[in-house]
């Protein structure tokens, strides 16, 4: 089978697409024929050795996939060959086949394409965990979403709106902000041309937002925290801008603000039953037409670098997928 191989922790351009032996199928696992695999910013960090974990080399990156079960190992129930499923793999999805523990696959909703399925698990799982479990978001509250046109950003716009919140989407261009409005944003801020804090205060009548969802970091982090109100929840998702911000802790003291880390992958591993419940809620919202994963582009495995560059250069409107 063909797979994208990481042999050393190095710039992603050094990855290679190679013919490799098909992985073995063991008890408790199913073999997934990958039809589409979601590309996420942590994939780039993993291959460059910059993520919170470092896999044993060599490895196949790819955290999530959608496809068809082609074989089932021993001690597996509830999954059979021919099932259309979405799988959380953490590694291995950028290949034609990947073995996945049966507990990590879920049936795809009717009407969902493989590309949509591959775009769903990580970004919507992360965003729903952040809003529901960490921020305890309530209907009627106001959410500020940074990097709102990207994968987790647009998922958060849709999910927060579905939860009854008022959504302020912030991004770096008017084109991206138009995309956010198409996906449910109530208000928008172009932080390339507008003062983020001042505009938030204007839109909220001086109150500030209740929740900040920040997958960007960098220079925007402090301004976004200052734009939040009393007992606000600031969600630390990631640092797509590069630099990890150094937040003055007196800003947490002022207005009794809460700074909350969000590490969905680790949480899902510790609390699989709760995560399964979240995924079911996400699927219910999809089937009710409240959310729809937008796929910005689909690339063949050989063109993986273009998918990575789309993320790094912030050209993505929603999600990018690979089709092995």
Please report which confidence band the pLDDT of residue 90 belongs to, taking 50, 70 and 90 as the band edges.
confident
pLDDT at position 197 is 96
Mean pLDDT on 189-197: 96
Mean pLDDT on 242-265: 92
Mean pLDDT on 279-304: 93
pLDDT at position 256 is 97
Q: State the Cα–Cα distance between residues 133 and 263, nearest whole angstrom.
A: 11
DSSP 62: -
Q: State the Cα–Cα distance between residues 270 and 286, nearest whole angstrom.
A: 25
For residue range 142-179, list pLDDT tens digits in order.
999 999 998 899 999 999 999 999 999 999 999 999 99
Task: Write down all domains in the chain, each with its CATH number in brackets.
Answer: 2-120+293-323 (3.90.180.10), 123-265 (3.40.50.720)
CB count within 10 Å of CB 1 equals 15
Residue 228 has pLDDT above 90, yes or no: yes
Q: What percent of the chain has pLDDT over 70?
A: 100
Q: State the Cα–Cα distance between residues 177 and 181, nearest whole angstrom.
A: 6
Q: State the Cα–Cα distance between residues 214 and 218, nearest whole angstrom.
A: 10
Q: Does the pTM of the predicted model rise above 0.75?
A: yes
Q: Are strands 84-88 and 64-72 parallel, antiparallel or unpaired?
A: antiparallel
Within 13 A of 130's CA, how many CA atoms are on the CB side? 33
Mean pLDDT on 66-91: 94
Least confident residue range of 27-31, 36-40, 164-168, 264-268: 264-268
Q: State the Cα–Cα distance between residues 301 and 306, nearest whole angstrom.
A: 10
Q: E strands within 124-273? A: 142-145, 166-171, 187-190, 209-214, 228-236, 258-261
Q: E strands within the chain? A: 2-5, 16-19, 29-39, 64-72, 84-88, 97-101, 105-107, 142-145, 166-171, 187-190, 209-214, 228-236, 258-261, 295-300, 319-323
For residue range 293-316, list pLDDT tens digits in order.
999 899 999 999 999 998 888 787
DSSP 253: H
Q: State the Cα–Cα distance between residues 161 and 70, nearest whole angstrom.
A: 37
Mean pLDDT on 34-41: 94
pLDDT at position 52 is 79
Taking each helix axis from N to C terminus, what angle separates 151-162 and 272-287, rounded to the nearest 10 degrees?
Answer: 80
Residue 13 has pLDDT above 90, yes or no: yes
Is 222 in contact with 247 (CB distance < 8 Å)?
Answer: yes
Please report which confidence band the pLDDT of residue 71 belongs to, taking 50, 70 and 90 as the band edges.
very high
- Our measurement of the distance from residue 189's CA atom to the centroid of its chain's CA atoms, rounded to an integer in Å, reads 22
Is 200 in contact with 209 (CB distance < 8 Å)?
Answer: yes
pLDDT at position 242 is 75
Q: What percent of the chain has pLDDT over 90?
A: 82
């Amino acid at each position: 089978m063909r797979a994208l191989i990481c042999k050393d922790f190095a710039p992603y351009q050094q990855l290679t697409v190679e013919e490799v032996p098909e992985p073995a199928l063991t008890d408790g696992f199913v073999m997934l024929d990958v039809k589409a695999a979601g590309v996420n910013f942590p994939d780039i960090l993993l291959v460059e050795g910059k993520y919170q974990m470092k896999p044993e080399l060599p490895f196949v990156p790819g955290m999530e996939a959608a496809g068809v079960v082609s074989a089932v190992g021993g001690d597996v129930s509830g999954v059979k060959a021919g099932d259309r499923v979405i799988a959380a793999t953490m590694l291995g999805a950028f290949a034609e086949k990947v073995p996945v523990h049966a507990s990590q696959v879920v049936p795809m909703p009717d009407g969902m394409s493989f590309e949509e399925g591959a775009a769903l698990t990580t970004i919507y799982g992360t965003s729903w965990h952040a809003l529901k479990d960490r921020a305890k978001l309530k209907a009627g509250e106001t959410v500020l979403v940074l990097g709102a046109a990207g994968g987790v950003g647009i998922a958060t716009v849709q999910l927060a709106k579905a939860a009854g919140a008022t959504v302020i989407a912030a991004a770096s261009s008017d084109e991206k902000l138009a995309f956010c409005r198409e996906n449910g944003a109530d208000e928008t801020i172009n932080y390339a041309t507008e003062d983020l804090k001042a505009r938030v205060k204007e839109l909220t009548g001086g109150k500030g937002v209740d929740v900040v969802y920040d997958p960007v970091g960098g220079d925007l982090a402090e301004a976004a925290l200052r734009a939040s109100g009393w007992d606000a929840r600031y969600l630390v998702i990631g640092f797509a801008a590069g630099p990890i911000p150094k937040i003055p802790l007196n800003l947490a003291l002022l207005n009794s603000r809460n700074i909350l880390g969000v590490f969905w992958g680790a949480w899902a591993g510790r609390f699989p039953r709760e995560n399964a419940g979240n995924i079911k809620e996400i699927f219910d919202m999809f089937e009710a037409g409240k959310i729809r994963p937008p796929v910005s582009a689909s690339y063949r495995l050989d063109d993986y670098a273009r998918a990575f560059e789309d993320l790094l250069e912030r050209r993505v409107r929603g999600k990018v997928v690979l089709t092995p």
